[in-house]
Each structure stands twice: as structure tokens, then as C-alpha cells.
């Protein structure tokens, strides 16, 4: 009979793989159970005993899988960031960059309103910013901002633009959720979105305007793609462009 495949130490890895798969399935069951409790009854309902019961496990299993309750909540938030990331559409060359910005902002709002308890858990603690999925989502946002800058649309610095876009979307959802049902006016969301757009972008590409700030931002956004300058030259040019961009 042919022998089973073995690892580097000569041991058959089947049991290890099966144990790892079982652990992953148990983690997923616990996370889904926690999200269910969070959605139905709020954060206070997410106790280790309640989650274990909902997942069909014993409470000590929660500690083995997540360390403690905070570890479980971190895993739930990471699951939320990954789910949000999956809703994002990336167009590397949008026909209308401003409409692409609006659409991206709307996606964040729609996710938050569809998942209020999960969104609140994700975005009310600064430590969540270390999430890998959160960072991946911010990279998508920065890509959108860089395309705006390269096209001459950006009114402010790229980092500030990303902060404004992210803060207005997060703030819009959390403010909406804090309001009583009879005071939730859809005009709030539309107004906040348009204020964001007006703050971070020009009505037409600034490279067509006489002012140098917009042109400097556009050139700075495209600079990393250039290969005909030395690192010292790129550094010096970036410093000059930063000065020009700051004058806008």
C-alpha cells in the first residue's frame, strides 16, 4: 500500500490539519453567535456564557479560542471589517471621479445602516484601527483619493482628504443611529455627503486653473510612478510640491 504523505519530521499531518479546521469552524460559529446576540440585544447581551450557549459550546471554549471577551469582540469587529471590505467596488479608472467618491461614501453609509450594532462595535474604539481588514479598506480609500489628486480634483492634502471622507461617513452613521426614529431625516446624510465633496474636491480639475496648488497635488500624486528621477531628486521635488500644495 502507498504510504501516507508525511511532514518534515516524518509525522502524518492529517490529525493536525483536522484539528486546525475544527478550530476554525468553532471560531466561526462563535463569531456568528456573537453577532446574532449583538444584533438582537446589543453589546451587553454578548457574554461568554450566552455566546457559548448560542454556539453550542462550553464557556471555557471561548477562552481557548479568543483569550477573553475583548478578544472575542475584536474578532467580531474584524469579521465586520472583512464583510464591509467585500462590499467595496474598486474602479481603477472611473469615468467620473466625483461620482465615484460619492458612490464609495454611500456604500459605507448603507453598510452602517444595514448593520447598526456591528458598525457601532467596529467604529467606537480606536484600537479597531489595527484590524487588517480595516487597513485594507483604508488603502482602497487612499487609492480613490490619489486618483482624485492625480486628476487635479483634490482641494486639500491627500491624508486630510481621506480623514475627512472617513470621518464624515462614520459620523453620519453614528449620528443617524443615535437619533430617535421620528427625527431621522434623510437630508442629513445627503447634506453631509455633499459638504464632504465640496470640502475635499474642486468643481473642475484644478490643473486647468491658473493656481499652482492643485497642479502641485496632481503632480505629487503621480510622482511615485516616475522612474527617471533619483531618490534624492524625488525627495527634493516632493518637498517643493508639498510647499506649493499647502498654499492652495
238 shares a domain with 153 = yes
Rg of the chain (C-alpha set): 24
Q: 209: alpha, beta or left, given left = phi > 0 and alpha = psi -120 to 50?
A: beta
In a domain? residue 21: yes
pLDDT digits (tens, 9 = 90+) for 3-39: 444 544 555 555 566 767 777 899 999 999 999 999 9
DSSP state, residue 214: H
pLDDT digits (tens, 9 = 90+) for 36-60: 999 999 999 999 999 999 999 999 9
Q: Which set of grid coordinates corresponds to residue 188? A: 442629513
145 shares a domain with 49 = no
In a domain? residue 7: no
Distance (Å, whole) CA 226 – CA 217:
15
In a domain? residue 25: yes
pLDDT at residue number 35: 97
Average pLDDT, the chain: 85
pLDDT digits (tens, 9 = 90+) for 77-129: 999 999 999 998 888 888 999 999 999 999 999 999 999 999 999 998 877 88
149 shares a domain with 36 = no
Nearest to 89 by CA among 79, 99, 76, 75: 99
In this prediction, residues 146-154 reach a mean pLDDT of: 89
pLDDT at residue number 208: 46
State the total domains in the chain.
Answer: 2
* Residue 223: pLDDT over 70: no
202 shares a domain with 95 = yes
State the chain's maximal CA–CA distance in angstroms.
Answer: 80
For the stretch 36-44, contacts whose Cβ atoms lie closer than 8 Å and that sit 24 or more positions apart, written own/partner, are: 38/76, 38/117, 38/118, 38/121, 39/115, 39/117, 39/118, 42/117, 43/117, 43/120, 43/121
In a domain? residue 77: no
* Residue 150: pLDDT over 60: yes
Higher pLDDT, 127 or 67: 67
87 shares a domain with 40 = no
> Which of 68-77, 182-191, 233-242 has the least mean pLDDT?
233-242
Angle between helices 116-123 and 69-87 (to 10 degrees): 110
Confidence of residue 219 (pLDDT cuts 50, 70, 90): low
* Residue 197: pLDDT over 60: yes
141 shares a domain with 43 = no
* Residue 242: pLDDT over 80: no
Confidence of residue 230 (pLDDT cuts 50, 70, 90): confident
The percentage of residues in the chain with a pLDDT greater than 90, rounded to a whole number, is 61
Confidence of residue 180 (pLDDT cuts 50, 70, 90): very high
In a domain? residue 2: no
Phi, psi for residue 201 in degrees, rounded to 5: -130, 160
147 shares a domain with 41 = no
In this prediction, residues 224-240 reach a mean pLDDT of: 70
195 shares a domain with 98 = yes
Q: Which set of grid coordinates corresponds to residue 47? A: 457574554
Nearest to 119 by CA among 48, 177, 68: 177
Nearest to 89 by CA among 143, 167, 130: 143
62 shares a domain with 86 = no
Q: Which residues contact 122 (CB under 8 A, 6 or more apart)?
A: 77, 80, 81, 84, 128, 134
In a domain? residue 9: no
The percentage of residues in the chain with a pLDDT greater than 70, rounded to a whole number, is 81
In a domain? residue 126: yes
| Structural domain range at position 136 | 82-246
In this prediction, residues 127-138 reach a mean pLDDT of: 88
Higher pLDDT, 24 or 196: 196
Distance (Å, whole) CA 186 – CA 109:
11
98 shares a domain with 41 = no
Contact 151, 205 (CB under 8 A): yes
pLDDT at residue number 203: 77
pLDDT at residue number 2: 47
In a domain? residue 72: no
192 shares a domain with 114 = yes
Contact 43, 121 (CB under 8 A): yes
211 shares a domain with 101 = yes
* Domain of residue 45, CATH code: 1.10.10
Amino acid at each position: 500500500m502507498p504510504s501516507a504523505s508525511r511532514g518534515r519530521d516524518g509525522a502524518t499531518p492529517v490529525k493536525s490539519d483536522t484539528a486546525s479546521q475544527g478550530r476554525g469552524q468553532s471560531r466561526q460559529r462563535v463569531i456568528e453567535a456573537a453577532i446574532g446576540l449583538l444584533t438582537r440585544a446589543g453589546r451587553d447581551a454578548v457574554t461568554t456564557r450566552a455566546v457559548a450557549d448560542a454556539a453550542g459550546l462550553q464557556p471555557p471554549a471561548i477562552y481557548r479560542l479568543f483569550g477573553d471577551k475583548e478578544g472575542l469582540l475584536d474578532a467580531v469587529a474584524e469579521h465586520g471589517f472583512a464583510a464591509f471590505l467585500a462590499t467595496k467596488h474598486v474602479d481603477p479608472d472611473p469615468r467620473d471621479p466625483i461620482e465615484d467618491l460619492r458612490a464609495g461614501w454611500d456604500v459605507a453609509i448603507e453598510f452602517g445602516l444595514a448593520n447598526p450594532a456591528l458598525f457601532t462595535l467596529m467604529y467606537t474604539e480606536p484600537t479597531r484601527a489595527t484590524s487588517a481588514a480595516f487597513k485594507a479598506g483604508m488603502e482602497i480609500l487612499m487609492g480613490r483619493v490619489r486618483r482624485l489628486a492625480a486628476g487635479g480634483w483634490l482641494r486639500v492634502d491627500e491624508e486630510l482628504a481621506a480623514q475627512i471622507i472617513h470621518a464624515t461617513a462614520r459620523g453620519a452613521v453614528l449620528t443617524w443611529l443615535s437619533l430617535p426614529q421620528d427625527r431621522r431625516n434623510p437630508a442629513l446624510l445627503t447634506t453631509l455627503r455633499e459638504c464632504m465633496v465640496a470640502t475635499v474636491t474642486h468643481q473642475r480639475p484644478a490643473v486647468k486653473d491658473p493656481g499652482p496648488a492643485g497642479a502641485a497635488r496632481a503632480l505629487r500624486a503621480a510622482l511615485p510612478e516616475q522612474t527617471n528621477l533619483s531618490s534624492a531628486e524625488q525627495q527634493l521635488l516632493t518637498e517643493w510640491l508639498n510647499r506649493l500644495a499647502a498654499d492652495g
